Structure 1
Amino acid sequence: MRVSNTLIGIWSMFTGLASLVIIGAGIWLATKHEDTTCIKFLQWPIIFLGIFVLVLSVLGIFGALRRNTCFLWIFLASYFILILLLIIFTIFAFVVTNKGAGEALSNKGFKEYRLGDYSSWLQRRVEKTSNWNRIRSCLSDAKVCKSLDEKYPTETEFDKAKLTPLESGCCKPPVLCGYTFENATNWAKGKGYDATASEDCLRWDNDQKNLCFECDSCKAGLLQNVKKDWRKVAIVLIVVLVIMIVVYTIGCCAFRNNRRGGYAPAGKYGA
C-alpha cells in the first residue's frame, strides 16, 4: 500500500521540474525581447508562480517519502488552491491575448497594428502615463530601430521588409498618414501627407530618440509581441496544469492511505 506515496513522490519530482520550466518561461519573457524586458508586470507573476510550485513540490516529496500525514495535508490543501489559481491565470492569459492582430497592407511586406484591437486590460497597462513613460524610455534606450536604415536603404526594399510588430509600430509613421520615404527612420510631409488620418500622424518625429514612440501604433506593436509571447507561456502552463492535477489525484490517494494507517512506522524504514 506504499505505492501511492511512492508515486506522489515521483510525480512531485516531475512537478518540481515543471516549476523550473515555469520559472524559465518567466525569465524568457524578461530577457528574450526588448519590449517584454521593459514590461516587468508581465513576467514576475509567472516567476513567483514557478517558485510557489517548486516549494509545494518539495513539501509533496517530503510528505510522501517520509509518510508524514501533516505535510501531505498541507501539500494537498495548497495544491488545490494553486490548481484553482493556475486555471484562473491560464484562462485570463488566453482572454487578454484573444484580441488583436496585424492588418495586412497592399504591396507591403509588413503589417500595421491598432491599439483599439487589443483587450482593454492590456490597453490600460500601456495607456497609463507612468507605465508608458518608463516603457518608452526603455525602448528608446534599447535602440530597437537602429538597424533599419542599413537593412532597408531604399523605399522598394523597405516596402518588402518583414518588419516586427515593434519596428512597424514604433520606427515609422502609419502608412495612411501619407509620409514620403527618405530613409527607413526619416520621413517627409509630402503631397500625400494627411494629418487628419490618425493622431499618430502628428506624433511622428524624425528625431531618432522620438520617432513614433509616443504613437498608439507603437503601443499596439508592443502588445502584439506580448500577445505572442504570452500565448506560448499559456500553453506551457496548460501542460503543467495537467501534471499538477495528476499529482493532486495521486496525493489524495496517498493521504487516504496514510489516514487508514496501512503503513509501517516511518522509523522502521530509516525515516
Structure 2
Amino acid sequence: MSHLPSLRQLEFLVALVEEQHFGRAAEKCNVSQSALSTALKELEQNLGVHLAERTKRSVTITPLGNALADRARRILLDTRAFVDFASANSRFLAGDLKLGVISTVGPYLLPGLMPHLRKKFPELRLFIKEGMTSDLLLALQNGYLDAVLLALPFEIGDLAYETLFEDGYKLAVGPDHPLAKLKHADGADLEGTRMMLLEKGHCLQQHALSAFTPIGPVQDSSFEATSLSTLVGMVAEGLGTTLLPDIAIKAGLTDKYDLHLVDVDKALPRKITLTWRKSSPRGEELKQLGEFIKQIYKGQET
C-alpha cells in the first residue's frame, strides 16, 4: 500500500518541473541537491511511477510527472489557503503577507507608504518581491504571493482587484529639445516622435505607447532601458524623449536632472491596482488594505 506523499515532496516536484534542473530546484527549495533528488526518488518508489528521466547533464519530466505536478501545485495552494484562513480568522492584517510589486510602482510608492502601514498594522510583516507583471501574476496564481501591486490595462484573468489610483504621464525632454517650448502636448503634437522606453516585459512600455489614441509617439527601437532612472539620465543628456509616470516624478525621480516636463493632455492613464486570487481567504483583508493604500496616497497628493 502506498504511503501519502509529504507536502515537502510535492514542493520538490513542483520546483523541479518549474526549473527543469535539479540544482536550481534545490536552491529554490533551500535544500541540497542530493536531498531533493533522494526525496523525489522516494516519491517515485512510493507511487510506483517515473516522474523524471535523468541523465548526467539534463532532466526530462515525464508526461505523468507534469500531470502530477499540476495536481501537486493545487494541493500546495489549497494547503497555503488552509493556513491563511486560520490566520485571517485569528488576527486582521497580521502575520506574513507576501506582496509582489512592479518596478515602475514599488520604488515610488512603498517608501512613503511603509511607515503608515507599520503604524496602522504593527503585527503585519510584509515580504516584498519586485518583478515584471507577467512573472508576478504567475507567482500569484501559483500561490507564492498573496497579492500584487500592478498597473492596468493588463490581462489578469479571473483575479480580484482594487483600483488604488490613476497614474498619468508627463513628457520628459531636454531643455534644448524642440518640444521643450510646449506647455501642453497631445497625441497630435507627439505623432511620430521616437521615444526611448523600457525594454519589453515592462508593462509601462505598452502603456506609454497606448496612452494616446488614435495617434501618438512610437518607440525608438535602437534603445531599450532597464529602469526609469536610466531613461531619465539618457533624456537629460539630450539623447531623446520619454514619457514618465506621475508617481515617479512626484517621488523625486527627475529632481536632480535638468529636464523639461510637459503636461500631456488627454493621455490615457494607467490604473494602479492591488490584485489577489478570488479564492484567497484573505480577500476581505486585502480589499481593506487596498482602501488604506488609496487613502494614504490621496492624502500625500493633497
**If you compute each CA radius of gyration, which structure gives the higher value, 1 or 2?**
1
Could you say whether these structures have the same fold, taking a TM-score greater than 0.5 normalized by the shorter chain as the test? no
Q: Could you say which TM-score interval applies, normalised by the shorter chain?
A: under 0.3
Greater share of residues in strand = 2
Highest RCO, 1 vs 2 (Cα 8 Å, sep ≥ 6):
1
For normalisation by structure 1, the TM-score amounts to 0.25
For normalisation by structure 2, the TM-score amounts to 0.23
